[in-house]
Amino acid sequence: MNPACAQSPSDRPVFRLDGGGMTYSFGVNERDELQQIYWGGRLGAQDAIAAPRSMPEAASFDSSYNNTPQEYAGWGAGLYMEPALKVTFADGNRDLVLHYVSASPSTGPHEQVVDVALKDISRAVTVILHYSMDAESGILSRSATIENHEPKPIVIEQAAAAAFALPPARYTLSYLSGRWGGEWTLNQETIRQGQRVLESRRGTTGHQLNPWFAISKTAPGSAVEEEHGETWFGSLAWSGSWRISVEQDTLDEVRVVGGFNPFDFGYQLKPGEKLDSPVFYAGYSKDGMGGASRLLNRYTLTHILPQAPNPRPRPVIYNSWEATEMNVSEAGQEAMAEKAKLLGVDRFVMDDGWFGQRKTDHAGLGDWYVNQEKFPNGLKPLIDKVHSLNMDFGLWVEPEMVNPDSDLYRKHPDWVLNFPGRPRSEERTQLVLNLARPDVRDYVFGFLDKLLSENQIAFLKWDYNRNWSEPGWDQLPPEEQKKVYVAFIRNLYSILAELRAKHPGVEIESCSGGGGRVDLGILRYTDEVWPSDNTDPLDRLTLQDGFTHAYPAQAMVAWVTDSPHWLNNRSTSMSYRMLVSMQGSLGIGGNLNRWTEDDLATARRLIAAYHQVQKTIVQGDLYRLISPTHGSEFSATETVSLDKTQAVFFAFVHSTQEGRSFPRLKLLGLDPAATYTLSSIEGKAAEGTPTKASGAWWMNHGIDLALRGDFQGAAFRLDRQQ
Ligand code: GLA
């Protein structure tokens, strides 16, 4: 018997998916609805799971339909909780009741897979639910395909990827919010009756909320635990308008529904057409928020990133943006490249300003030819220079945008998102090209393909500096225009996929004015993301802390920039700035012409040290030992390589007061029986600290650091003795 489909004694099908430390189970109830049975810690293989029975009616106002947690509920039959699917039929009928039809399970060596077909009780609308459970991590991927076999079109007003349920308990919801320059704030709040909506209506992922959540079981009044306690989590792989709703029903059960944002949605399906939802990943850990993020981030490294399962640690980059902004030139960039090389940088990236008539952000976007004044001989001399310094070359592009002051816009004013006859709202004096249009898609693919074919470019920083407005697509009949929400993003993904296939050596960063487009959808096609335009190191500590809950340090580019910092006017030492950025994929983004000899020497020394331990830092298991949030004076992170042969830890103090010592750091995740040698990357341990001790010592006794002052940092490595 296939474990993905264990027949229950009642003869109604029950499905059971086991992976890592998690079991997920659902089955067909007596009304033929597909009902969730269980989502949590792994059950015994011998445990029989009975087919579900619908929840009883609690009162005439709390119907059984509403109380029963369906796997994918159509809006109909008195459902008041968030539906997964809502449609309008051509005759005006809006009642949709999905019943189980069939299932096709298939189990591979690494995952259990099952497709379950549902169909409306009378109309020819079917939904195929796709489930795939990763055997190792227990990460479950879920998505849905909606098919119209009716003789007339239907309009999909709401379509989720998946719905999940948790039984009544006291829960805390964690989610990430922010704004430009201040992304990745971790919010935690008690889940109460009613709905908490996490969403973007912006046509893109957004800085404001990220499509990730975690739900922790908490005792009344207690905080969410970092390393203990049950945690359920999910991440929606979609880079367009999205929504995740977390809702506690009147009987205290919690439901999570995530997928396309229903706001302004209206996807017409003609007879025979279908719509695929994004993928919603979900998982479970009994080891708190730390355990949850280690599982999800490992999965991203091994299953999502373009180079999965073995993404190479990112080259240390130099990026010119903060140093020169748009004032780039052949001589200026070449001089900077020479300086970058002396630091030990691997990749030189030229940012905005090299193309079209780009002098300020008022012109040029859309005209992807090399600016003749700044680069009279094209990009080749600069690229050759960078190669002669033994670095590879990367370039900034913002392919989906156009300035009204550009040749492209003058030629194709109809190519932007707009409603004819209505104003076109500019942001940063730019408009959004309608990538859903096939001609725009071809143009964007075409110029990028040409750029990559004609130049030796190893890396693109793909930017996206505004959100949508007036999202019209007037090429299509009115009833089809709202398809833009899906078609735009699918074309974005297809361009990225096609470029990667044609230029396999090219690596890509997703940037959107910082962290405006970070999600597991874009991370299938991009190797790294730019988490924030805010590079102030103190702010970065909290940004990075939030980021790592949902995404791995491998994908987290972290530049070291100038002091005092342009945003906060805070002055910090080079050592502090370097150590903060070394917790992610390190880059240098300052004006090297202004760095002192001491600064350059510190950066050079720490880049060399980073290169030695980078893989452990960005791909190891991360333990957030002390969180920098809530005004904490201290913070610390530790990462341990998968084979436990190496650990690296960082510690930071904001401002020492009253002579307080840094809290003793008890490390985690080491092999207790092995012996580890401690060496300093930067900073000192307290006097008397052994240089060699067991994993048990470092974890149980812990280590005291000599770390005091304002904005001070330290970093150490532990290497296991052979
Ligand atoms: C965005 C990016 C920056 C930089 C500028 C260039 O703001 O986030 O890093 O590339 O655009 O205009």
Tokens representing residue 501 in the block: 């296939």
pLDDT at residue number 377: 96
pLDDT at position 76 is 96
Q: Report CA(465)–ligand 1 centroid distance (Å).
A: 7
Q: What pTM, to 2 d.p., does this model score? A: 0.97
* Total H helices, total E strands in the chain: 12, 38
CB of 533 shorter than 6 A to ligand 1: yes
Protein residue with least CA distance to atom 4, ligand 1: 321
Nearest ligand 1 atom to the CA of 511 is: 8
Selection from 244, 213, 217, 241 nearest residue 231 by Cα? 217
Give the residue ranges of the chain where pLDDT is below 50.
1-2
Ligand 1 pocket test, pick from 397, 463, 517 with the greatest ligand atom count within 8 Å of Cβ, gives: 463
Is 514 touching ligand 1 by the criterion CB < 6 Å?
A: yes
| Contact 511 CB / ligand 1 (< 6 Å) | yes
E strands in 524-633: 528-529, 557-560, 585-588, 621-626
Choosing from 351, 359, 508 the residue with most ligand 1 atoms within 8 A of its CB, the one to mutate for a pocket test is 351
Distance CA 393, CA 460 (A): 9
How high is the pLDDT of residue 6? 57
For a ligand 1 pocket test, name from 317, 354, 465 the mutation site with the most ligand atoms within 8 angstroms of its C-beta. 465
Q: Give 602 Cα–ligand 1 centroid separation in angstroms.
A: 27
How far from each other are the two terminal CA atoms of the chain, in whole angstroms? 45
**What is residue 485's DSSP assignment?**
H
What φ, ψ does residue 174 adopt, rounded to 5°? -115, 140
What residue owns the CA closest to ligand 1's atom 1?
513
Cβ contacts of 376 within 8 Å, gap of 6 or more: 330
Q: How many CA atoms lie within 13 A of 539 on its CB side?
A: 22
| pLDDT tens by residue, 316-326 | 999 999 999 99
Report which of 213, 298, 276, 305 is spatially closest to residue 19, judged by C-alpha positions.
Answer: 298
Q: What was the pLDDT predicted at 2? A: 47
CB of residue 322 inside a 6 A radius of ligand 1: no
C-alpha pair distances (Å), 537 with each of 173, 418, 573, 693, 705: 28, 40, 10, 32, 21
Q: Which of 346, 298, 240, 247 is nearest to 587 (CA)?
A: 346
Omega before 309 cis (within 30°)?
yes
